[in-house]
Amino acid sequence: MAERYAKLDRLDYAVVELRFDEGIGFDLIKSIRDRYPNCRTVVHTSFCNIQTAVLAVKNGAADLYPKPMDVNLVIAMLLQKCTQTTSELQELQRPSDLRDEYIRQTFQSCGSNLTRTATHLSLQRRTLQRIMSRRPELRTVSERSS
């Protein structure tokens, strides 16, 4: 469906999520780049890591921004009306904080079961144990999840 909308009109800007029911966002990014080479496409997703960012840029994305993020900030960045000194940019979570929050939420959603969490995260159980032993706060309930 998103692919159909991308073909209807001229696009100057696009915000793309990487996961949706009909496919993956990388294909959509590439399609937008091929059809509208001057379109500024940004990825706004919960799946932020170095590999994802590199793949998104290779497929034609201008940038990748983590969720959650204020919608006004995303629009400002999309329109390139944001500078590095903006106070909102300073409040962005670091990638390691995003990873830790994702591990914490997954751990909670798996009923605090380490083995199920490791399977869900595609990690070895021992690797997850090491991460959690270094960061004991990952086992606690997050204020954000309520």
Which CATH number goes with the domain that contains 34?
Answer: 3.40.50.2300
Where is average pLDDT lowest: 7-11, 52-56, 132-136? 7-11
CA distance linking residue 109 with residue 91, whole number of Å: 26
Do 100 and 67 belong together in one domain?
A: no
Domain range holding 11?
Answer: 2-90
Same domain, 75 and 100: no
Residue 67: predicted pLDDT? 76
144 confidence band (pLDDT: 50, 70, 90): very low
Q: What is the pTM of this model?
A: 0.52
Residues 65-84 pLDDT 10s: 777 777 777 777 777 665 44
The CB density around residue 63, as the number of other CB atoms within 10 Å, is 15
Instruction: Find out whether 32 and 39 touch, Cβ atoms under 8 Å.
Output: yes
Same domain for 103 and 38? no
Sort strands 23-24 and 19-20 into parallel, antiparallel or unpaired.
antiparallel
